[in-house]
């Protein structure tokens, strides 16, 4: 395991301990790490781009989420020798907060930092996280009704 991954994990655990949260799911992304306390419906987002800045997100305030995929330009005939995966530039999950400026984007794949060979595993994790976010949002909707 790379040093930065271990560092991210240690930091997430320290933050969770400080705020009395229990991380039940964790994912280390490119420049971010997320940990979720399912019972308390809280998510810790640790961002390396901002000097290990963190925020705690109340999943009850997430109204929807979507997966975003950005592709490079595809020239004529290129699909004959390549798959669509070869043209993916970026894959992320966007969590839309009730307060729009607090909307969060979690980057799972970036072609400048990941290889196409990493896509199968990243897609697996994307599916898992989509399920987690879906359950959290559906529980919130059921609770409101």
Domains of the chain: 3-144 (2.30.29)
Q: How far apart are CA 48 and CA 50, in angstroms?
A: 5
Nearest 10 degrees: Cα torsion 28, 30, 133, 17: 40
Q: Are strands 88-97 and 62-71 parallel, antiparallel or unpaired?
A: antiparallel
Reading phi first (left if > 0) and then psi (alpha if -120 to 50, else beta), residue 51 is in: left
- Render each residue's pLDDT in the chain as its tens digit; 145 residues: 477 788 888 989 999 999 999 998 898 887 888 999 988 889 999 987 767 789 999 988 988 888 899 998 888 888 888 888 888 999 999 999 999 898 999 888 998 888 888 888 888 888 888 888 887 777 654 444 4
Nearest to 129 by CA among 94, 78, 79: 94
Nearest 10 degrees: Cα torsion 49, 54, 59, 61: -90
pTM of the model: 0.78
Reported residue count of the chain is: 145
Tell me what pLDDT residue 2 has.
74
Tell me what pLDDT residue 1 has.
47
Tell me what pLDDT residue 139 has.
65
Tell me what pLDDT residue 143 has.
47
* DSSP bridge pairs for 57: 43
């Amino acid at each position: 395991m790379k040093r930065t991954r271990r560092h991210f994990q240690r930091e997430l655990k320290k933050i969770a301990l400080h705020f009395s949260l229990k991380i039940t799911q964790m994912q280390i992304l490119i420049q971010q790490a997320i940990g979720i306390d399912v019972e308390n419906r809280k998510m810790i987002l640790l961002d390396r781009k901002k000097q290990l800045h963190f925020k705690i997100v109340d999943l009850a305030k997430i109204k929807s989420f979507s997966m975003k995929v950005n592709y490079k330009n595809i020239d004529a005939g290129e699909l004959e020798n390549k798959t669509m995966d070869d043209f993916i530039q970026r894959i992320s999950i966007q969590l839309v907060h009730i307060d729009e400026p607090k909307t969060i984007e979690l980057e799972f794949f970036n072609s400048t930092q990941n290889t196409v060979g990493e896509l199968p595993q990243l897609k697996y994790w994307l599916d898992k996280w989509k399920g987690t976010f879906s359950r959290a949002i559906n529980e919130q909707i059921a609770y409101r009704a």
